[in-house]
Copies of this chain bind each other. A is one copy, B any other.
Amino acid sequence: MITITRLAKRFGLSRTALLYYDRIGLLSPTVRSDAGYRLYTDADVERLCRICSYRNAGLSLDEIRQLLKQPDAPKEQILRNRLRQLDHEIGTLRIQQRAIINILQSLGTSESVSAIDKEAWVRILRVSGLSDEDMEVWHTQFERDAPAAHHAFLRWLGIAEEEILQIRAKSNRNHSSATKTHR
């Protein structure tokens, strides 16, 4: 049995957020005091716990409600959807970064912008001691271990979608031929 502000503080939320969760029926305290004060039980606290973990994943309150309603049916589906959505959002923000950098450069800016692109990245790897062939190995390994992350990383470097697909296709060819020769 805990009052609203205390609960909010415990979870690093605001009181009004909890009021809102009650209003939309996401988390309504099971008990009210005589004066009408919200009193959250242990079960409510636990529910909030799960709500927070989903909020940390950036899910909407509506999606969270669905996840808590169902026993465990399409959880994975929803989470994977959000994962793809996040990939897309990050890509959008990266594009925005490039847009700003373009504007700044066309503005003839004084200081350098220090955003990394393909050339800068290759230079860093080369200084670290990688040859062109090593970099192919790097791509191949990256593609094998974490294809989605590989894609996201290349997009992060500002490489066009088309070229990304080419690079990944090549990495996959390297990989399959490598496994073939091993057999």
Contacts and interface: CB of A to CB of B under 8 A. Distances in A.
B146 A76 contact: no
Count of this chain's copies in the oligomeric assembly: 2
A149 B93 contact: no
A120 interface: yes
A-side interface size class: 35 or more
Interface string A91-128: 00111110111011001011001111000100111011
A54 to B, nearest CB: 8
B124 A141 contact: yes
Contact of A79 (B54, B86, B104, B130): B104
Contacts of A86: 93, 96-97, 100
Given A53-B103, A149-B115, A93 B90 contact: yes
Given A57-B96, A93-B86, A109-B76, A135 B146 contact: no
Contacts of A148: 114-115
Given A79-B104, A93-B90, A145 B124 contact: yes
B125 A145 contact: no
Contacts of A129: 129-130, 134, 137
A96 B56 contact: yes
